Amino acid sequence: MGRLTDSRIALADGYYMGSVFAPVLDALDKARLHPDQIDVVLLNGGSCRNPLVVRAFQELDIFRNAEILDQGDLDLAVARGAAVRCFYKHCRDYDPITPIVNAEIGLLTHGDNCQMLVPAGTLLPFPPKGEFKRFTDRFWVPKERMAKIHLPIYSGKEGNRHLVQTMSLEVPADAARGDRVVVELKIDSNKIMRFRAFLADRPAVALDMTLENPLAMRSLSPEQRAALEERKRISCKRLENPLYQPSVEEWVDLANLERLAAEPERALEILQRLHGRLKKLNQAFPASGHNILGLCYGMLGRWNLSCEHYRRASEMEPGVSAYAANCGFALSLLGKAEEAIPLLKRAVTGDPEDGYPYVVLSDALRQLGREEEALKEFQEGKKRLEIQLRASPHSTRLLSWAQGVCQRLSEYEQMAAFSRRKQESARTAYLGASPDDLVAGMDSGIIRSGELAA
C-alpha cells in the first residue's frame, strides 16, 4: 500500500512517474489537507474511463470519509467547463480560473539555508507585465577562488519542500567573497519560468535557463538519473537498430541501476523477463543477476527469497566474497546464524579489505552468544571500514556501515559523527554540489547586517 499511495512526484520525459494517486495526494499536501478531511471525490476527466482507476478510488481505503461520485458524461462535463471559461474570457474579459504560483519558489543557499523568491498564491504572470523581477541585494559569492556558484531552485515550504533543479553560474577566477550576484526571474501564465543570474560587475558572464514547470518538477536523485539515462540509451539503440538486443550484462546492470534508484519492483521485472528468455534459450542465468534479485527482495522484506538468490549466486561463484557475505547477512536476519557463519568466514577470507563481511559475521556471532569473538570482529570491521573511507570518503554505503558498527560497539560519539557525514554526503549528491558551494543568501553569514545597512 505504501508504494501505491506514495505522494512523491517525479517528472521524466514529461510524464509522471508514480502512483495514479500521486498527483491527488500531492495537491492535498500543498493544501495542508489529509485524505480523511475530504468529503467528496468527483471522478471526472479522461483517465476516469479506465475502470481500474475508478475501482481503485472506490475500493481502496484512502479517502475513507469521502463519497466517491462517478456519474455524468465525462466528455460533456469537460466541454461545459471549457465553454464557461471561454465565455468569461472572451465576452467578459475575465478568466474565472486564475493561474497562481501554488507553492513557494526560492533558492537554497550557502550552508543549506533558504531564500524565498516568489510566495505561494502569487498571481501569474509574475511580474504582472511580463518583465523580469530583479533581486540585487540578496545573493553573494560565498568564498574565494570558485569556478562555479551553484543555485538550486526549490518549490514548497518547510516540511513539503523539494528540489526542482540545480543550476550553475560560471565565475571568473578573481571573483571575491562577497561579490554581488544578481538574480532575475519571470513566470508566465503557463507556469514557464525564465531564470537568469550574473555577477553585478560582470553582467556579460550570465546564466540563462528556462524551466518548463518548476511547480511540478522534482529533481531526480543521482541514482534515478543514472537509471533514466541507461533506459534512454537502450531505447535509442533499439530505434537505430530494430534487431539490437541488449546483452545479459546490460540487462543486469540496468536492473541494478533501478534498484539503486529505489525501484526494486522495476528491477525485478527486468530480471524475471531476462530469466525467462534465458531459460527458453537453455542458457544459465548469471550469478550477478541472482545477487541483484537477492538485493531487491531484501529491499521488499522478502528475506526467504532474498536468501535463496544469494545462495545461488554464492554457489555459482564461490570466489566472490560479496555474494557469500550477502547470503550470510540474509541467513542471520532469518535467525540462522549458525548456518551463516561459514559463509561469512569465507567472505572475510576472500576479501579481507572489506569491512562489511566482518560486521555481518560479528552480528551472527553475537546472535549465538559468542560476545568476545563478536567484539573482536566488530573492531576489525570498523578498522577496515575506516580504511575504505579514506579512499571513498563520501560513500553513503560505507558511512552507513561505519555508523552501524559504532552503534554496536556503543561508541555513540563516533556513531553521530559518521551519521552527520552520511547526511552531508547524501545532501551533496542530491543537490549536485556541497552546501558550502551554493550561492550565499541573506542568512549565510557572508554579508553582515551592518554592511547591508551601510
**CATH code, 115:** 2.60.34.10
What is the reported pLDDT for 216? 73
- Of 267, 283, 299, which marks where a domain is finished? 283
179 and 115 fall within a common domain: yes
Domain membership of residue 238 (yes or no) is yes
Q: Any idea what the Cα angle at residue 60 is, between residues 58 and 64, rounded to 5°?
A: 80
| H or E segment to which residue 117 belongs | strand 113-118
Rounded distance, CA 262 to CA 256, Å?
A: 10
Q: Identify each DSSP E strand in 359-439 by its residue range.
A: none
Domain membership of residue 330 (yes or no) is no
Q: Are 171 and 195 in contact (CB under 8 A)?
A: no
What residues of the chain score a pLDDT lower than 50? 1-17, 452-454
CA distances from residue 148 to 151, 213, 222, 294, 318 in whole angstroms, order as listed: 10, 25, 20, 41, 47
Domain membership of residue 335 (yes or no) is no
- Of 68, 91, 114, which marks where a domain is finished? 91
pTM greater than the 0.85 cutoff: no
What is the reported pLDDT for 30? 65
What is the reported pLDDT for 14? 37
Domain membership of residue 195 (yes or no) is yes
What is the reported pLDDT for 233? 94
- Residue ranges making up the domain that contains 111: 105-211
Rounded distance, CA 84 to CA 233, Å?
A: 45
150 and 57 fall within a common domain: no
What is the reported pLDDT for 212? 84
Bridge-based pairing state of the strands 180-187 and 193-199: antiparallel
- Provide the angle, in degrees to the nearest 10, between the axes of the packed helices 248-260 and 222-240: 150
Q: Are 258 and 270 in contact (CB under 8 A)?
A: yes
What is the reported pLDDT for 335? 95
205 and 229 fall within a common domain: no
Number of domains in the chain: 3
Domain membership of residue 409 (yes or no) is no
240 and 172 fall within a common domain: no
CA distances from residue 135 to 180, 198, 209, 222, 439 in whole angstroms, order as listed: 10, 11, 16, 30, 13
